[in-house]
């Protein structure tokens, strides 16, 4: 019998995502990644970040029985969220939305992953969340695209330009808000999207889902905080 909200550290390696066996088991045949830094992903090229694969369990569950796996974040990096924060946020969603979720993994940053960094990814029944720099400061060697620039600012990220590069600086509150109400919800949207097959359409759906079930909640919370501070 499966236990609700399982949690374990440093899970052993399973199968890499570029294994042919993994492709056959993937829901869409291609992993969905979130917010590539440094340019768009070319869909015609192979996409194979080294990652653990967790075989989906055919046993139905009620949306509360998912496992959270925590890997060491890697040198110079840190996880943004704790397992308790992830559970608390997901528990605020309707249970039927969580039924496809088998695992949430806080992944390790490696040298290979740094060459194609992203904040989150969905593959099969697993949501992957990636660590950020311990300084909460990210460097971009090319200008951010307007959507990327505005999205970070929506959640409190602060952009500064220095020479030919750009820096994105997060406060602790802002980066948690960004992951809880944008990255995590966006990747869940990918998992729930059983209709779209193209990269563009899947991203469009996940963006809508993140705004509807993530950003609006975050914006309402910030407005309520401001009202309390003004005594109204």
pLDDT at position 9 is: 57
pLDDT at position 47 is: 47
- Hey, where are the domains in the chain? 6-38+49-229
- Between helix 184-192 and helix 83-90 the angle, nearest 10°, is 50
Each residue's pLDDT tens digit, 94-140: 999 999 999 999 999 887 777 667 899 999 999 999 999 999 999 98
- CA atoms within 13 A of residue 190's CA, in its CB half-sphere: 27
Please give the share of the chain, as a percent, with pLDDT higher than 90: 54
pLDDT at 223 over 60: no
Helix (H) or strand (E) holding 169: strand 165-169
pLDDT at position 76 is: 93
């Amino acid at each position: 019998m499966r236990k609700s909200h399982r949690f374990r550290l440093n899970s052993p390696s399973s199968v890499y995502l570029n294994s042919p066996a993994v492709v056959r088991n993937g829901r869409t045949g291609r992993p969905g990644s979130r917010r590539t830094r440094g340019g768009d992903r070319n869909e015609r090229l192979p996409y194979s970040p080294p990652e653990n694969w967790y075989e989906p369990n055919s046993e139905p569950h009620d949306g509360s029985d998912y496992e959270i796996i925590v890997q060491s974040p890697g040198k110079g990096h840190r996880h943004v969220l704790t397992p308790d924060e992830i559970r608390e946020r997901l528990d605020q969603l309707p249970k039927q939305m969580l039924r496809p979720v088998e695992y949430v993994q806080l992944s390790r940053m490696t040298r290979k992953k740094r060459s194609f960094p992203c904040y989150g990814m969905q593959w099969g029944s697993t949501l992957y969340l990636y660590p950020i720099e311990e300084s909460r400061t990210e460097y971009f060697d090319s200008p951010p695209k307007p959507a990327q620039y505005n999205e970070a600012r929506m959640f409190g990220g602060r952009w500064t330009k220095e020479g030919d590069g750009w820096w994105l600086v997060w406060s602790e509150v802002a980066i948690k808000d960004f992951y809880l109400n944008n990255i995590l919800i966006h990747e869940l949207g990918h998992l729930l999207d059983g209709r779209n097959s193209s990269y563009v359409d899947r991203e469009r759906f996940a963006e809508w889902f993140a705004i509807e079930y993530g950003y609006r909640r975050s914006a309402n919370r910030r407005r309520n905080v401001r009202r309390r501070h003004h005594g109204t």
